[in-house]
Each structure stands twice: as structure tokens, then as C-alpha cells.
Amino acid sequence: MTSFTHASPPVALSELAPWLLDQLDEAIAFFSADLRLVCFNQSLVKRWELDSEWLQTQPTWSDFLQTVSQQQQWLPEQRETMEQLLELAWRSPHQPLTPNADINLNASRYSKSPPLRLKLTGYPDRSFLLTLLPTPPANSPEQQLQEERLRLLESVVVHANDSILITEAEPLESPGPRILYVNPAFTRITGYLPEEVLGKTPRLLQGPNTDPATVARLRTSLHNWEATVVELLNYRKDRSEFWVELSVVPVMNQEGRYTHWIAVQRDINQRKRVETELQNTLQQQIEVSQMRSRFVSMTSHEFRTPLTSILSASELLEHYGHAWTEEERLEQLHLIQSTVQHMTQLLDDILLIGRSEGGRLEVYPVWFDVVTFCHTLTSSIQNSVGREHLITFDSQITRPYAFLDQKLLQRILSNLLSNAAKYSPQGTLIRFDLEQDVDNLTFIIQDEGIGIPIEDQAHLFDFFYRGNNVGTTPGTGLGLAIVKNCVDLCKGQIRVESTPNVGTLFRVTLPASTEATRPE
């Protein structure tokens, strides 16, 4: 077939099966609403022995009819029949008629050449299609087979679940080949009506997340005139994303020249969702496996060390306790007690994580004096760190009673204050401030410690993760993960600002009802 800058749906459909049209010996001429020839095929040239170059000049319907009449030696009544068929096809463009007439188009009235079946079809935009087919004997098997094949071909394309586009062969570079035809599935999948895309390029379906590497691979195949299949992220008319499996095939005419591209787009959104879910599940399994490995390593170390200390202290008491002073014996007993408390706290942390991950950790808010609570907690942490650090608490709120989960709040603040002391040089200041707005309480803890490197901040709240700059400072990597879980349970937010060797500031904002006095 010959490639043109315009094509009607029937012409575009014919490109899907040029071999079928060759079998039927079908001739096609398509005229625009202004009565100019804009498309024809080689069967028309051969059938009526017309000049292909002259047809390329897009003659008017009148010139075309006059030339064909002279070439085929039509009788006046035959040409008049053609004019009447055009008027009839135009009369009801919204319900196009397809009148047929058995007239001898090949010779004069004395010719015995078999007649040809002529079909003239009008379209809503007042363009029309002239089709010529050899007419077998009426109701012959050959005629029925030809008509059935055409109906099947049109049915396959029109009713296909996959989106089908037909474009010009060139240009392959910007702006790209123009769309000549789309089937109804294209509109259903993309939301674009045919009139919104005809004359434009398929690139209108691409968007910011369309993979440039896949587009480049597709473009390479087009330049090599190769059939190709790719998976591409496209965009609907409303700019929502959808995945397609895109099959593109070049179409060659009888002269060996590429004239069109046929693209079939299959919606694979569901398949992609399943693939993503499987990948996420696999990734979660990998993370769980890694977490278990880190958990075994951490618990092995964290429990072995204190158990060794407890065993050593008990053996010393057993064998040498009678010779020690009371103060020495108490020192060993206090060591055992603090070590047991450390192990108990570690077990509590692990159990808390287990309940949180299993969705079994619940929030139980109560009314309490949050200012007094923070003063008490500050004093407790100060006693545990001794003179190594100075912890200050300052409250800027006027309604001290808050409705919060007291246990979760203690977990959050005690972890942050303990970390501030653990990772700060001796003698530095730790500031603890409490602020209030209409619906929230904000707890601010700022230290002058080693800080958190930028590359570690993205993993700050991961289980068992520790910064690269902690050195030999002991820790489990659970504290901040627990803090984040508790904050999430309270439907709050936590933000961190940190500079290595300068210090770290944590800002925890929790939604909380507050009152000046304890509600009844």
C-alpha cells in the first residue's frame, strides 16, 4: 500500500491484513470532506490503469470521476450512478449507508468484462470511502467467504481488548510518526477519544516516570525497522499511570517500502501489581532474615557479657566474700543488681518490639501532670549519669495536665535522654524543653555529642542499626527504633537535626489534649 498523511478508519484497518486485501483484489480510494483524494492503494492504480503520480496530486472528486470515466469508457448513466451514490452516502452521515451497484466499470456497453461491485461509504465528517471488489456470482461461496473474512477482520480490531494504534512510518525523530487510527480499546484504556489523538504522536502517552532507557531501546528498534516488544509505563488522559506490554510491528507495501507501524498495547497493570507485591514480600523476607541474624548476634553479645559479669561477681562472693569488707561485698551485689536490671530492660525492649510488630501494642492515655512527670524523669536520668553531664529541663506550657499514654511517653523520653548522655563527651550540657501549641505538645532534646552522619540518618530508626561513628560505645540499635514505634502509636511525629561533632536535636510532637488543672 501507499503511505499518506491522512487515513480513514477503514484504510487504517486494511493495513492490519494487506495479504487479505490482495486476496480480495480490493481497490480503495478515500476522499476528504472537501472532496479531495487523500488516500488510495495500488490495486486502484492497476485496476483502472491510472497514473500514480497524478493520484498523488490529490485530485478532486470531479476530476477523479472524469478521468476514470474516460479511462474506463463509462457510459453517461454510469457516471451519473456514481454521483447519485455519493449524494446518498452524504444524506445520512451519522448512519452511513453502504449502497452497492453492479455496473460495468471496465469497458463500454459492448464489453463482456465481468462487472465490479462498487461500495460508497460516508462518514460523520462527510469524508467517504470508495471500495471496488470483484463480484463473484451472487450468493456464491467465494463471495460469502470474502465478506465473512472482512467482517472477522473488522470485528477482531474493533472489539479487541488490547489497544491498537496505526501510525505513519516516519518521521522517527521528533515529533515522531503521527497516529492514523486507534480502536475503541485505546479509548477505554487511555481515556483519549480518537479525535484527541489522531494526527498526534504516541509520545503524548509518555510522562515523567516513563523509563528513558526503555524508550531509547524502542527507538533503536524503530530505526532498524525491527518488530519489538517492551514493557512501558504510560499515562492516561487524566495523567494516571498504567503499565503496558507494547508490541510494535512495521508494515511493508508491495514495493518493499515501510509505510506504517502497528502498535498493540496490552494493559499489564494487574501483572505489575502482583510482581510488585511478590518483590515486596521477597524483600520483607530478606529483611526479616537479616533482622533475625542481627538479633541473634546482638542478643548473644548483649546477654553473654552481663551473664559473665554476674557469674564472676557471684563466684568472687562465694570464694572471697568472707574476707571482704561489707563495702566490697555491697559493691559486687550492686554490680549484679545493675546487670540484671540492664538485662531486664533489654528483654522489655525486645518484647515491646515484638508486640508492636504484631499489632498487639495498644495506647492507654490518662490525665497526668506532664511537667512534674518530665521533672521526675530528668532527675532520674541525671542520677544515673552522675556528674558526667548536666541535664536541664525547661517548660514553656501553661496547661500542665495532658491526656497521653504515660508508659509510651516514658519510653520515648528516657531513650532519647539516655542516648544524649551516652553519645556526648563528659561535662557537656543536655537541654530538655517542653513546648505547647493548640493541639500538640513538643518535647525537644538537644545534646552536644558526636552527632549523626548524613548517610546514617536515613536508617536512624531501623532495628539494630547503629551509626558508623559510635566506635566502641555499647548499644543494641533498638532504642531509636522503639522511640519511632512509640511515637507512631501515639500518632505523633519525630524529627532530627544533627551535625557530626556538633550535636543532635530531636523534636517529638504528640497530639494531646491539655488542661490547666486535672479534669475530674
Query: What one-character-per-residue DSSP string does 202-243 give?
Result: GGGG--TTS-HHHHHHHHHHHHTT--EEEEEEEE-TT--EEE
pLDDT of residue 89: 59
pLDDT of residue 17: 41
Q: 10-residue block means of pLDDT along the chain (520 residues)? A: 41 45 65 84 83 89 87 77 70 46 43 59 74 61 58 58 84 84 86 89 89 89 87 90 88 78 85 81 72 62 74 84 85 83 73 65 88 93 85 91 92 90 89 91 93 85 74 71 88 92 93 84
For the sheet containing 366-369, what is the strand order?
A: 366-369, 401-404, 513-515
Query: Is this prediction's pTM over 0.85?
Result: no
pLDDT of residue 457: 84
* Domain annotation for the chain: domains and CATH numbers: 9-156 (3.30.450.20), 163-267 (3.30.450.20), 273-357 (1.10.287.130), 366-515 (3.30.565.10)
Whole-number Å distance between alpha carbons of 323 and 313:
14
pLDDT of residue 1: 37
Cell of 85: 451514490
Whole-number Å distance between alpha carbons of 446 and 423:
12
DSSP H or E run through 52: helix 52-56
